[in-house]
A and B are shown apart, each in its own frame.
Chain A
Amino acid sequence: MESRLLVLLLAVAASLAVAPALAQTVDINGVPVVVDPDLDRRDVRQPRIDSENFEIGVHGGLMSIEDFGTNSSVAVRFTYHIAGGFFAEAAYGQSEGGTTSFERLSGSAPLLTDEEREFTYYDLSFGYDILPGEVFIGSSRAFNTALYLLAGAGSTTFGGDDRFTITVGAGVRFLMTDAFAVHLDVRDRLFDIDLLGEDKTAHNFDTTLGFSFFF
């Protein structure tokens, strides 16, 4: 009697224990599952890759303003590297015009006020690294470089007017490290000016040395 009760209890217990297991051995299509992988999916969080497509730099040098002499110039340039050597750049800079030889020789009243001699510009350009390369310093050091060309448009305030300005230039970027570069640039800013009696296109060459960071 007791043993029969024990068997019954065991049977009930066994069926209870087996029931959930039985329920799991068939997949949604009714096909029995032989191996039931009971794995916790790993929550994979990949470390972020640091992208360095932006570049900001300060540049200083000499600007030769046509008819108005050569003076120091400063500029801030912000660059976005797009792909395949192409980049877009926004620049803002300042210089100052001196006196024309006409003003000095004739002794007449100055053509411009001091405020009008201030030369400020902004422009937006597209550039292309046409000659990527390396320079070697000593026997164990190599630095990446790129010779780039660029062209753009902007506005220059000089001589009492805002003047539409085309910028063309070339420069060399020396990468001291992956994120720090030294630039040597020559840019010509062209605009139309009629201050000296005739309409003409003025070429204003700006030669600069600069430092920039990639981030």
Chain B
Amino acid sequence: MNFLRLALFALLLAAQPLQAREYRKAVVAEPYLELRTGPAKGYPVVQVVERGGHIEIIKSRTDWYKVRADDDREGWVRRSEMELTLNDGGEFTTFEEDDFSDYESRRWEMGALTGDFAGANVISIYGGYAFTANLSAELWVSQALGSFSNSTFTSINLLHQTFPDWRFSPYFTLGAGVIRTSPNATLIETEDRTDEMAHAGIGIRAYINRHFLLRAEYKSYVVFTSRDENEEPNEWKAGFSFFF
């Protein structure tokens, strides 16, 4: 008997941390709140919580929130419907995180783009830091895969975003870097070469949601080769980025 009591006590102690998690609460203000089985509009509505019903917000995924009602019923609710519930203070629930204002005050950004570099397919990743809303610096690493040669290039860019408060925001960029070109294996052996290069470009960023951007750009390069003529490849590419 004593052992049983001890075991129960131990179990209670073990269960404690699970209970300690405090969730944000809300009260349903519309006639009813629809709970779906999953975090997408395709999932069916299987429960409703009526006006005045209390709910806890367990977690979020994209624009959906998982909530639990008083009677332990659980389901997923769309963000726009959550914003019609009331918080403790009787005001509409708001979700402070992740909106366009974060974008305007962003510092770090990273992303990946793909496209065409002088007829070769190019894949690029970059990381950037914004000094001001307008001016940022970026480090790019790209791999261009062509029919006759592959090249890897790294460059440092300065980027000026003229209208940082626009959701579709154009920018200008200038940069310099190094390109290393190696001919494909099936071709007759020629040597790898490394050259300096510089570029200018224009592009556009589109703010999609939360911390997510789409981005497309065009860059015009000059490669300072060791031969008589410089090469002037052009590049366009599109992709996505995150900021934080």
Contact = CB atoms under 8 A, between A and B. Distances in A.
B145 A164 contact: yes
B60 interface: yes
Interface string B185-223: 110000000000000000000001110100000000000
B145 A134 contact: no
B121 A44 contact: no
Interface size class on chain B is 35 or more
Contacts of A134: 37-38, 43
Interface string B28-68: 00000000011010110000000000000111111101100
Interface residues of A, number: 42
Contacts of B66: 178
B37 A142 contact: yes
Select the residue from B121, B143, B184, B212 with max chain A CB neighbours within 10 A: B121
A53 interface: yes
Contacts of B3: none
Contacts of B209: 82-83
B242 A80 contact: yes
Contacts of B97: 49, 51
A154 B208 contact: no
A133 interface: yes
Given A142-B37, A159-B185, A52 B123 contact: no
Contacts of B150: 161-162
A47 B129 CA distance: 30
Contacts of A192: 147
Interface in A32-84: 44, 46-53, 80-84
Contact of B40 (A88, A129, A161, A164): A129
A153 to B, nearest CB: 5
Chain A contact surface mostly: strand
Nearest to A126: B240
Interface in B80-110: 87-89, 95, 97
A51 B61 contact: yes
A117 interface: no
Given A178-B59, A214-B61, A132 B143 contact: no
Contacts of B186: 160-161, 194-195
Contacts of B164: none
B143 A155 contact: yes
A111 to B, nearest CB: 11
B112 A124 contact: yes
A162 B120 CA distance: 12
Given A52-B60, A153-B114, A133 B42 contact: yes
A214 B97 CA distance: 19
Given A44-B88, A80-B242, A144-B43, A49 B61 contact: no
A7 B47 CA distance: 74
A170 interface: no
A161 B60 contact: no
A134 B39 CA distance: 12
A129 B184 CA distance: 38
A17 B242 CA distance: 62
Nearest to A156: B145
B37 A144 contact: yes
Contacts of A178: 59, 61, 66
A184 interface: no
B62 A84 contact: yes
A153 B121 CA distance: 9
B239 interface: yes
Interface string A111-144: 0000000000000101001011110000000101
Given A49-B95, A178-B59, A192-B147, A80 B88 contact: no
A85 interface: yes
11 contacts: A46-B24, A51-B61, A52-B59, A53-B62, A81-B62, A84-B40, A129-B42, A159-B185, A162-B143, A163-B145, A178-B61
